Amino acid sequence: MAKRKPMRGIHEGLEGVLTTLSEDVVKALDIKEERKILEKKVRQLRDEEIQLKEVVDHLRVTRDKMQTELRRKEKQEEGLQSKINAMKEDRAELQSEKLMLNQQIRNLQKEKVIMQRSLEKTNDMLISLKHEISEFDEEIRG
């Protein structure tokens, strides 16, 4: 009986070793599966990184184009603002000239009224002179 006990102990020990080995194999398979999953995730992350780099590059190009366009628009705006300011100055000058011309028109209208009155007086004087000449001619003839 003493011999069977050690065999049983060896058998139990071997079963323990076998159980441990089985557990280790299962763990190794799990680790291998997890490694495959992690490698797949790493590949996906690398692909995403490449895609993100492409997106970033595209965004940089777009940003640069937009900055260039913005600078062009700002220069265009400055040019238009300059034109607006020049037009405002021209408008102010034209307004000043308009006021001056309106004053000249009023002065000419006043002169016209004075000249019309003078012309009327001259016409009246001519009519009066004509009448006097006619009377004088009648006196001479008659």
Residues 79-130: tens digit of each pLDDT: 999 999 999 999 999 999 999 999 999 999 999 999 999 999 999 999 999 9
Residues 10-21: tens digit of each pLDDT: 888 888 888 998
The domain locations on the chain are 17-110
DSSP string across 107-125? HHHHHHHHHHHHHHHHHHH
Whole-number Å distance between alpha carbons of 115 and 122: 10
Whole-model pTM above 0.85?
no
